[in-house]
Structure formats: C-alpha cells, structure tokens
Amino acid sequence: MSDDQRTPSERRVKTAEDFTKKVASKEDRRIKGKTRKDDTLLFGLGVVGVVGWSVVIPSLIFTAIGLWIDRTWPSRFSWALMMLILGVALGCMNAWYWVKRARQDIMKD
C-alpha cells in the first residue's frame, strides 16, 4: 500500500515504526561497539598502517621498475614518473579493497 492510500493516522504509525527500527539499529551498533575489545587506539593505528603500506609498497616497487627502464632504455618519456603514478593508483585500489573488506566485516557483526 502506498503512502497516498493510507490515512494520516496510518502514515504516522508507519513513520513511528520506521523511526523506532532505525533507533534500535543504531543502539545495537553502539552497544556492539562498546563491547568490542579489539577497537583500541593501537588497533586503529594498525589499520591506518596497513592502509598506508598497501599504497607505499606498490609505489616503491613500480618506481624502481621505472628507474630501471629509464636507465636500461633511455627515452624522452620518464618511465619512473609513469610507473610511480601506476603504483600509487594500484596501491589506492588495494587500500580501498582492504577498507571495504573491513567495513563489510563490521557491518556483518
């Protein structure tokens, strides 16, 4: 039944039920957040470190490959710069994957 077909009192009841469900969901998440012991400051810093290293490592590897290409086969294009950009892009995609996976784990709990 659409909202247009409901009486004003039915719409108010439906709105109140939706609000109650939303508040209950947020309260459940808050309680779960307080009971989780692994979400400390050090855990948060560790997650930030993993995300940072997942960007840094590919960037360094691809830059090293670009420098090697520049030394081995000189050209007018900077392979080091192109490979750096590629490494950062791949690292960001990798970090996005890890953050997305962590978020899914949190939402699943």
pLDDT digits 0-9 by tens, 2-16: 666 778 888 888 888
Check whether 31 has a pLDDT greater than 90: no
pTM above 0.75, yes or no: no
From the CB of residue 75, how many other CB atoms can be counted at a distance below 10 Å?
A: 8
CA distance 100 to 58: 19
The average confidence (pLDDT) of the chain is: 85
pLDDT at 64: 97
Confidence class for position 69, pLDDT limits 50, 70, 90: very high
- The tokens describing 25, both together, are 């969901």
pLDDT tens string 38-63:
666 777 777 778 888 889 999 999 99
Is 62 within 8 Å of 84 (Cβ atoms)?
yes
What are the Cα distances from residue 14, in Å, to 17, 18, 39, 102? 5, 6, 36, 34
